[in-house]
């Protein structure tokens, strides 16, 4: 018997529910879209049909395919019409009691159907216990907007059986998604592993290492992120992010890595919630909320001066290549990470490979150091002197959290990387970043932060310790 359902039910006709239903129609499944509110159901169906038409206009599928997909849609305001569905995906608002009530009712109407929840934060195990057959309950976490994002996270609750996992996986693949598997827990795999992008950014601002605008610019130009963490917090809603952070803290019974920031609480109390209120970390008016990022200067101006770069790591190799392109007389020499210009040591800096366009220069300000790195083709950003600077600290904590998750069996290294790249649009996954930087260097950065801060949130994951030993 094929694991792919022939008849799919979707509960909730909001943005996410209508997007999932569109995917089901395109995948060839007869799709029943349910919502108890007639206006919401009408809007959801209209959005689905508009999405099919727009996709055909853009060449993602043919007009004939769009017409055939639309013909597979059935809408209903009666939950009983889901009878006969082999898979029902719940996309109701994020309220645990509402979802539990739906699971109890749907499991009576469709006693043999696999029931999936699209929750991004509620433990799937707690929802499965409300169903008549908990072994048929699974998580299917789609990312917004569902028709465009290429990832779906399939989450196994404590009760989930193999049939539910097979049906959810086959459905996600038929919808054209990369399916990754995760075990149940705070944030599942993707949102959990993405927590340090926000948490460490907030800490850098709290400790006055850099401003929110600086942190965002460093992440964009230094790390290749499409948006910085503070821009994203404004986009999602600072209040939403704060509630998620509190949920992580509660579900983990106080894990220090996931502690909410007082800055979030202060912004929420002030009503500065981001774009939806016109003011968050940035001001939103008629014009752009931030200036355009500067283009890095072309390497040049070395004029044969002596540039010595110590070490054999990726940063050293990058600097030597840039130095040669800029016309310096480049030599190897000195300790790992040490740079000398005409025999004089250059002050602190942070570069995060593989393709940084920006270098963090660690205070106090020094014009000669800025001229050197500008001549090497980098945008220069001055921040306070701190281990790892801004980007090094964020990236190393991303790697560390991924190592905790993999070591705890939440997901595989490959699924972590795919999840971060496809689900959160990171330029590369944390396990890939760990291999590029060297897990031993990641550990050294965390150790330096630990020495400076003495906080439990910087303890290394057991898997990171193992990988660092193997890399040394």
pLDDT of the chain, 472 residues: tens digit per residue: 468 999 999 999 999 999 999 999 999 999 999 999 999 999 999 999 999 999 999 999 999 999 999 999 999 999 999 999 999 999 999 999 999 999 999 999 999 999 999 999 899 999 999 999 999 999 999 999 999 999 999 999 999 999 999 999 999 999 999 999 999 999 999 999 999 999 999 999 999 999 999 999 999 999 999 999 999 999 999 999 999 999 999 999 999 999 999 999 999 999 999 999 999 999 999 999 999 999 999 999 999 999 999 999 999 999 999 999 999 999 998 888 899 999 999 999 999 999 999 999 998 999 999 999 999 999 999 999 999 999 999 999 999 999 999 999 999 999 999 999 999 999 999 999 999 999 999 999 999 999 999 999 999 999 999 999 998 7
Residue 200 lies in a domain: no
Residue 241 lies in a domain: no
Of 329, 352, 383, which residue sits at a domain end?
383
Q: Which of 191, 261, 374, 400 is catalytic?
A: 191
Same domain, residue pair 170 and 39: yes
Quick one: pLDDT at residue 336? 84
Its pTM stands at 0.95
Residue 222 lies in a domain: no
SS3 141: strand
CATH code where residue 49 lies: 3.40.50.720
Q: Which of 86, 107, 118, 141 is catalytic?
A: 141
Tokens of residue 319, six digits: 């600097």
Residue 269 lies in a domain: no
Residue 97 lies in a domain: yes
The count of structural domains within the chain is 2
Quick one: pLDDT at residue 1? 47
Quick one: pLDDT at residue 142? 97
Q: Measure the CA–CA gap between 105 and 130, rounded to whole angstroms.
A: 9
Q: Measure the CA–CA gap between 319 and 141, rounded to whole angstroms.
A: 42
Q: Omega into 364 within 30° of 0, i.e. cis? A: yes
Q: Which of 18, 120, 374, 400 is catalytic?
A: 120
Cα dihedral across residues 361, 362, 363, 367: positive or negative: negative
Tokens of residue 302, six digits: 């070395």
How does DSSP classify residue 461? P
Of 333, 354, 383, which residue sits at a domain end?
383
Q: By residue range, what is the domain housing residue 90?
A: 7-184
Burial 335-358 (b: 16+ CB within 10 A, else e): eebebbbeeeebebbbbbeeebbb
Residue 428 lies in a domain: no
Q: If residue 75 lies in a helix (H) or strand (E), which one and from where to where?
A: strand 73-76
Residue among 354, 335, 338, 342 nearest 302 (CA): 342
Phi, psi values for residue 443, rounded to 5°? -60, -40
Q: Does the active-site annotation cover 144?
A: no
Residue 445 lies in a domain: no
SS3 340: strand
Tokens of residue 248, six digits: 């992580």
Q: Which of 86, 153, 231, 401 is catalytic?
A: 153
Of 162, 184, 206, which residue sits at a domain end?
184
- Token pair 């001066």 is found at 305
Residue among 35, 37, 36 nearest 13 (CA): 35
Q: Does the active-site annotation cover 153?
A: yes
User: Taking every pair of C-alpha atoms in the chain, what is the biggest distance, in angstroms?
Assistant: 80
Identify whether the C-beta of residue 73 lies closer than 8 Å to the C-beta of residue 33: yes
Tokens of residue 241, six digits: 């992010």
Q: Measure the CA–CA gap between 216 and 210, rounded to whole angstroms.
A: 10
Q: Does the active-site annotation cover 120?
A: yes
Q: How many CA atoms lie within 13 A of 322 on its CB side?
A: 27
Q: If residue 380 lies in a helix (H) or strand (E), which one and from where to where?
A: strand 379-383
SS3 379: strand
- Token pair 């401003």 is found at 211
Quick one: pLDDT at residue 333? 85
Tokens of residue 185, six digits: 């827990």
Residue 412 lies in a domain: no
């Amino acid at each position: 018997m094929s694991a792919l359902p022939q008849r799919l039910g979707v509960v909730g006709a909001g943005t996410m529910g209508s997007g999932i239903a569109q995917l089901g129609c395109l995948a060839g499944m007869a799709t029943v879209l349910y919502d108890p509110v007639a206006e919401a159901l009408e809007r959801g169906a209209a959005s689905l049909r508009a999405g099919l038409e727009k996709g055909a206009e853009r060449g993602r599928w043919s007009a004939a395919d769009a017409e055939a997909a639309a013909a597979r849609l059935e809408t209903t305001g009666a939950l009983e019409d889901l009878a006969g569905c082999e898979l029902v995906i719940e996309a109701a608002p994020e309220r645990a009691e509402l979802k539990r009530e739906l699971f109890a009712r749907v499991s009576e109407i469709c006693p043999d159907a696999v029931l999936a929840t699209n929750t991004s934060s509620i433990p799937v195990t707690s929802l499965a216990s409300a169903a008549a057959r908990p072994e048929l309950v699974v998580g299917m976490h789609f990312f917004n907007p569902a028709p465009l994002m290429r990832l779906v996270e399939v989450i196994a609750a404590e009760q989930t059986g193999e049939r539910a996992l097979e049906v959810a996986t086959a459905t996600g693949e038929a919808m054209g998604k990369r399916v990754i598997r995760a075990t149940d827990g705070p944030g599942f795999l993707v949102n959990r592993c993405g927590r340090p992008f926000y948490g460490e950014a907030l800490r850098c601002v709290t400790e006055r290492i850099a401003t929110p605008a600086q942190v965002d610019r460093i992440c964009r130009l230094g790390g290749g992120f499409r948006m910085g963490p503070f821009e994203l917090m404004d986009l999602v809603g600072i209040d939403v992010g704060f509630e998620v952070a509190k949920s992580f803290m509660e579900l983990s019974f106080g894990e220090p890595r996931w502690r909410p920031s007082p800055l979030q609480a202060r912004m929420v109390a002030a009503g500065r919630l981001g774009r939806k209120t016109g003011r968050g970390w940035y001001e939103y008016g008629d014009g752009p909320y931030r200036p355009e990022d500067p283009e890095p200067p072309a390497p040049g101006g070395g004029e044969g001066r002596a540039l010595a770069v110590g070490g054999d790591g990726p940063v050293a190799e990058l600097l030597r290549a840039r130095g040669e392109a800029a016309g310096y007389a480049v030599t190897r020499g000195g300790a790992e990470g040490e740079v000398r210009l005409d025999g004089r040591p250059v002050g602190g800096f942070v570069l995060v490979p593989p393709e940084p366009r920006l270098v963090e220069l660690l205070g106090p300000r020094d014009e000669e150091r800025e001229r050197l790195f500008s001549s090497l083709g980098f945008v220069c950003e001055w921040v306070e002197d701190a281990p790892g600077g801004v980007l090094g600290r964020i990236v190393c904590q991303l790697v560390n959290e991924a190592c905790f998750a993999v070591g705890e069996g939440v997901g595989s290294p490959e699924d972590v990387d795919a999840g971060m790249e496809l689900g959160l649009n990171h330029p590369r996954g944390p396990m890939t970043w760990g291999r590029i930087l060297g897990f031993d260097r990641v550990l050294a950065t965390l150790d330096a932060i630990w020495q400076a801060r003495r906080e439990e949130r910087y303890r290394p994951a057991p898997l990171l310790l193992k990988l660092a030993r193997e890399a040394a």
